[in-house]
Amino acid sequence: MRQPREVERLYIDCDGFFAAVEQQAHPHLRGKPVGVVPFKDARHTCVIACSREAKLRGVKNVMSMEEARELCPDIIFVPQSPDLYRRAHKNLLSEISAVIPVDAVKSIDELTCRVSPAEQSDPHTLGLKIKKRIADNIGPFITCSIGFAANRQLAKMACKIGKPNGNLIWHPKDMPGPLLRLTLRDIPGVGARMEQNLIDAGIATMADLLATQPKHMRKLWGNVTGERLWYALHGYDVQTPPSGRGMYGHGRVLPPDHRTAQHVKSASRLLLVKAARRMRRDGWNAGRLWLWLELMGSGSVHRDAWLPAVHDDQAVLSALERLWSDVELKLPRSARILRLGVTLLELTRASERQLDILLDDDKQRRRCEDATTAIDALNRKYGRTLVSFGPWTPPPGGYAGGKISYTRIPRAEDFW
């Protein structure tokens, strides 16, 4: 495995991205503490992102609105705008690509690039060039931290340490000096439980971790991730294999006046159709449907149903109806449903599907698939959900199925 002698990777992470985009788009928010929340008029939810001004007052992501208000009484809460963040993300990719090719997009506000041999001698200037391009062509309120190192793992750690608005370089000749000043929790992916496992194994500092052996790291992590981390921390050019697609799904927290079975069932239909659209777009079929409901104060309910390798709306909605028939029989009338999730699992390539001769589903399945294809074409033509199987009633708050997660950046059609 190769051990680079020069800086070969950079990692970019935008600072408080959602809140920064809101400040850039809305001048009245600039310079003020801002907290982004899931819904308009929300009262008892958590802050999903906060501005630098709010962070300086002690506000943190995933903090309750009540706690945020106690720390920062003048904080301004704004509802999330996922489509705005998606468009800002596209603009960022365009501007950064004008300076350096983007190697991999890691999330809505994180990406990594390979540093060309011509730029390895002066990474600091390269970082300033990227920052200037963003400030000039997108706006000065969207800032980013950049980390430079021999590999992606170290560049990401340098980026994190350099926040906010950093431009930190960890040159291979200076390593492992910068690492020795860090704690175990500064390693991405090491949380409280993993830290305690390491301490129990006699590893309490970064120096202790670097002194271990690769196979010991594999044993501590329980898989090859630990061994890869060892090589990455020691400056090797580690290439992580791409992960495969395992599921398509959506979840939703329901507002207080929509926590009845009737409202939740309607929301689950919409979320399932949106998940099926994404799945069809990527060329997959599903072999199982999973429905999950979190009840207020009384645990959760989950059901799953087998599917004959399908992707059309009629098939997945029929399976969902069967699951709800069972759930409604056993759900107390007074049950309040806080959150729901629908997931399509056991994926196979649509091009490789074999029809089940015992179900005699050839003619019927193809007819349903043709109808779904026609509906998708109409909706795509008009840029909205014009036609659907059954009612189409989005729950309050908007952006159902268009939520931005760490692993998925929505497309424009996810907001139809």
Catalytic position from the list 110, 119, 227, 413: 110
Phi first, then psi: give them for residue 97, nearest 5 degrees: -65, -25
User: Who's near 25: CB < 8 A, 6+ residues apart?
Assistant: 81, 84
Is 116 in contact with 143 (CB distance < 8 Å)?
no
Residue 352 known to be catalytic: no
Measured between alpha carbons, how far is 295 from 113 in angstroms, rounded to an integer? 44
Measured between alpha carbons, how far is 363 from 224 in angstroms, rounded to an integer? 46
Positions marked active-site: 110
